[in-house]
Amino acid sequence: MLAALVNGRVLTEAGVVDGKAVLVENGVVAGVVETREVPASAARRELDGGLLVPGYIDTQVNGGGGVLFNDSPTVEAIAAIGAAHRRYGTTGFLPTLISDDLSVVDKAMRAVEAAIERGVPGVLGVHIEGPFLNPKRKGIHDADKFRVIDEAALTLLTSLKVGKTLITLAPERTTPDMIRRLADAGARVAAGHTNALYKTMRQALDHGLTGFTHLFNAMSPLTSREPGAVGAALESQEAWCGVIVDGRHVDPVALRIALRCRPLDRFMLVTDAMPTVGMADKQFDLQGRRIRVVDGVCVDDHGTLAGSDLDMAAAVRNAIAMLGLTLDQAVMMASAAPAAFLGLEGRRGRIAVGSAADFCLLDDDLNVTATWIDGVEG
């Protein structure tokens, strides 16, 4: 059935346009036309002057709605997490598993496969963040879970039958050949929780690494004599960098400098969200440690950052307010950029003919008032 979203402002690749209607059929955008050109047979959905933008894509979602993926690697948990984040404009996401036993990694991957096959809205794949990390940059991760990637781990990490697999690892804890094998098998490989030297990072980039997980956080810094992981990230003009824009994980000044170093479309907003998103109760347990939200960030009893209480709608607003980005730029970093990182460019992350009908409707304050995933409002 043909549907028409009418009487709103639409953020297209040419900018915000007025007087246009978005036609949706079979879950994809069938046209962006003048309102007068809407077929009489189309079912109309009034937008009442709201701003229609591409749905947000979050590649790092540990939890939401009171659910932590590690605690419950199930289809039901994925659905609950997705529903919690959808209220804030996330129409595509990767359930993210922080460092755990390989048996739990296996359960998480099988749950993601089942969720996609059952049509759980918004699930695009899985993000395995560890356990192939460096203890010197462990952050909140449990270093007792850390291990190297052997043949059994490689087989598991490349076993997802549907959807995208993103793997965050420390390049110095594996080999360039292993990174190449992961990439050649279709996985997206990102550096994170790493103490790598610049030379090691450069080798990883040359062998298929295409991302950096939460730039600046839990990685070797840029210094005068050793550029480290941060230096490699800022020098690269092709790899994508996830950034947590909450004003606490990274100082906005550092992020503004980073934005000047490389193409803007190679940055993507991420939340690194924990179960507190969408919940009034701002505390939870993480692998035996009590985590609380203090001044807007998740920390343990020692003050160690433990993910975030950030949602994508807030990340977009923060990118505008803290980083000086335009609406078009901030939304691009929340939609088209992560879509491209996942190899979904042209299929998601934009409002254009042939793309999935994933949208957010925003009010004048950029709060989300409605969402669509594959053309279905919810």
**Look-up of token digits 């009442």:** 48
Residue 74, domain member (yes or no): yes
3 contacts 31 by C-beta, under 8 angstroms: no
Residues 283-296: b if buried by 16+ CB within 10 A, e if exposed: ebebbeeebebeee
Active site (annotated) includes residue 358 = no
Over residues 223-272, the pLDDT tens digits come to 999 999 999 999 999 999 999 999 999 999 999 999 999 999 999 999 99
Q: What would the mean pLDDT of 292-307 be, rounded to a whole number?
A: 91
Provide the sign of the torsion angle of the four alpha carbons 217, 223, 228, 230, taken in this order: positive
Q: Which long-range contacts (CB under 8 A, 24 or more apart) does 217-221 make?
A: 217/139, 217/244, 217/249, 217/250, 217/305, 218/137, 218/138, 218/139, 218/192, 218/193, 218/194, 219/137, 219/191, 219/192, 219/193, 219/194, 219/195, 220/137, 220/194, 220/195, 220/196
Asked whether residue 295 carries a pLDDT value surpassing 90, the answer given is: no
For the chain, what percent of residues have pLDDT higher than 70? Answer: 100
Asked whether residue 352 carries a pLDDT value surpassing 90, the answer given is: yes
Q: What would the mean pLDDT of 5-28 be, rounded to a whole number?
A: 95
Q: Do residue 45 and residue 184 come from a single domain?
A: no
Q: Do residue 67 and residue 35 come from a single domain?
A: no
Q: Do residue 28 and residue 148 come from a single domain?
A: no
Nearest alpha carbon to residue 276 among 251, 246, 252, 302: 246
What's the CATH code of the domain at 82? 3.20.20.140
Q: What residues have CB less than 8 Å from 80, skipping those under 6 apart?
A: 64, 65, 66, 67
Q: Confidence band (pLDDT; 50, 70, 90) for 72?
A: very high
Active-site position among 246, 272, 311, 358: 272
5 contacts 45 by C-beta, under 8 angstroms: yes
> Which uninterrupted H or E stretch holds 4?
strand 3-12
What's the CATH code of the domain at 43? 2.30.40.10
Residue 347, domain member (yes or no): no
Residues 129-155: b if buried by 16+ CB within 10 A, e if exposed: bbbbbbeebbbbbbeebbeebeeebbe
Residue 346, domain member (yes or no): no
Q: Do residue 145 and residue 228 come from a single domain?
A: yes
The per-residue pLDDT of the chain, averaged, comes to: 97
Over residues 82-115, the pLDDT tens digits come to 999 999 999 999 999 999 999 999 999 999 999 9
Half-sphere exposure of 289 (CA within 13 A, CB side): 16
Q: What residues have CB less than 8 Å from 300, skipping those under 6 apart?
A: 140, 286, 289, 290, 291, 306
* Count of domains observed in the chain: 2
274 contacts 308 by C-beta, under 8 angstroms: yes
Residue 349, domain member (yes or no): no
**Look-up of token digits 């839990």:** 218
- Is the preceding peptide bond at 39 cis, omega within 30 degrees of 0? no
By CB atoms closer than 10 A (0-12, 13-18, 19+), residue 364 is exposed
Q: Do residue 262 and residue 328 come from a single domain?
A: yes
Q: Do residue 171 and residue 306 come from a single domain?
A: yes
Asked whether residue 296 carries a pLDDT value surpassing 90, the answer given is: no
Instruction: State residue 208's pLDDT score.
Output: 98
Q: Do residue 154 and residue 23 come from a single domain?
A: no
Q: Do residue 271 and residue 193 come from a single domain?
A: yes
Q: Do residue 227 and residue 87 come from a single domain?
A: yes
Report the 10 Å Cβ neighbour count for 280.
6
Half-sphere exposure of 189 (CA within 13 A, CB side): 29
Residue 122, domain member (yes or no): yes
Q: Do residue 174 and residue 27 come from a single domain?
A: no
Range of the domain at 26: 3-53+354-377
Q: Do residue 373 and residue 239 come from a single domain?
A: no
Instruction: State residue 259's pLDDT score.
Output: 98
Report the 10 Å Cβ neighbour count for 373.
22
CA atoms of 3 and 220, how far apart (whole Å): 50
- What SS3 class is residue 42? coil
Terminal-residue alpha carbon distance, the chain: 17
- What SS3 class is residue 215? coil
Q: Do residue 125 and residue 19 come from a single domain?
A: no
